Amino acid sequence: MTSTPESSRPSPPIETAAVVTHGRVDVNEAVGRVRAVAERAGVAIVDEPADAQLAIALGGDGTILRTLGKLLGSGVPVIGVNFGRVGFLASIDPERLEDDLARVFAGGYRILELPTLAASLDGETHAAVNDVVATSATLGRMIEVAWDVGGEDVGTVPCDGMICATPSGSTAYNLSNGGPVLSRGLDAMAITFIAPHSLHARPVVVGRGAEVTVRNITADVGAAMLVDGHRVADIPPDGRLTIRLGEQRSLLATLPETTFFGRYRDVFTSTP
């Protein structure tokens, strides 16, 4: 298994930034606070995130992930202010918005280059920041999944579906299905089955260079392909969905003290 450094980029002071919000969360007051901090720091707020030096996502993990996905390939990192329920990927709490954002604008942040997935089906390739899922298209009906890794047959598993997750996505749907948590720095993906009807189906961690192929071999139940929680295609009978670690990296900006295991402790292991 290979690993990658969490940051390979300098952190210059910010001159332009964009604000991204979730439509279902009222963060109008927070937007005003961000603009006030930016004005004091001499930072211009622009409308288009791809034209900014930094994108500030106000919301939960979903907002941060959507912003990371939209900015793939742009070179623009994303920092999250947690207005969601979990906020595992966020670095800034709302009550510290002014102080922490001022530090960020002054260059006090790190850029983490995180692995993505490339999923191909019927000649189309989709990039995923979090996960790719092959799942039963009929609620309550199992499918039988045949899969191989690096061209080597691994077997078949009756289940509700199969998740391939990046380290970023390992703490989401993968975790809720009993999959392993992959710490930042690992250049790998986790493979976890959803409700497997087998005592022998166990999660597997696969490194870069090993392509995973998934086929639905159930004759009477269709399958669907989900990318970062969105249904993007149906998997035809005996269709081949291939998933590998992508060449692009998602760029997550964090405060220096916001470490992976610190967030893991605070979000998943602390007693309420």
Residue type (1 letter), 202: R
Q: Which of 61, 131, 160, 228 is catalytic?
A: 61
User: At residue 66, what are phi and psi to the nearest 5 degrees?
Assistant: -60, -40
Q: Which residues of 108-147 are buried (b: 16+ CB within 10 A; e: fewer)?
A: ebbbbbbbbbbbebeeeebbbbbbbbbbbbeeeebbebbb
Specify whether 61 is catalytic: yes
121, 241 Cβ separation under 8 angstroms: yes
Report the DSSP beta bridge partners of residue 230.
Answer: 227
Residue type (1 letter), 38: A
Among the residues of 45-172, which ranges form H helices? 61-70, 97-105
* Catalytic positions, written as ranges: 61
